[in-house]
Amino acid sequence: MSEVELRSGKDELKRRLEQLLGTKPPAPIDASQQQEVESETRQIAARRDKVAAAGGELLGAAMKLVGELIDNGSAPDPQTVNQMRAGLADCIEREPDGRLQVRFTLPGDNALTGLATTLAKLLVAEPE
């Protein structure tokens, strides 16, 4: 014998046990933990829905405020309004309940801080 083959004892034992016993069955699902996670997921989704709805109302109110501030007494051109509406409609998803949903992406945490700062300023701004 001129050659000796070494194998890890642990790996070899594991391989042999797997051959004898078969593969390990999947662990049973912990029903209480699964219910807890599902409940937490529903709560988070409900909160996101509420925040999204409030954000939509806030955006609508902000646009109405800006519209009132820049109102020059004349109505905008209906064709321009229709073009703007069509462009916005391309970015909107309609939910099964008929609500419209718009998503926007911020480039990073600084943009989120800037948005929060601006909104806070709008909330505390005093009219002149």
Per-residue pLDDT of the chain (128 residues; tens, 9 = 90+): 566 666 567 888 888 888 888 777 788 888 888 899 999 999 999 999 898 888 888 888 888 888 787 777 788 888 988 998 898 888 889 999 998 888 878 888 998 888 888 877 766 666 55
Report the C-alpha gap between 59 and 43 in whole angstroms: 24
Q: Is the pTM of this model over 0.95?
A: no
Q: Specify the pLDDT at position 125.
A: 61
Report the C-alpha gap between 119 and 98 in whole angstroms: 28
Report the C-alpha gap between 111 and 105 in whole angstroms: 10
Residue 91: CB partners within 8 Å, gap ≥ 6?
A: 102
Q: Specify the pLDDT at position 126.
A: 61
Q: Specify the pLDDT at position 103.
A: 82
Q: Specify the pLDDT at position 45.
A: 93
Q: How many CB atoms lie within 10 A of CB 2?
A: 3
Rounded (5°) CA angle 58-119-80: 55
**Consecutive H or E run containing 100:** strand 100-102
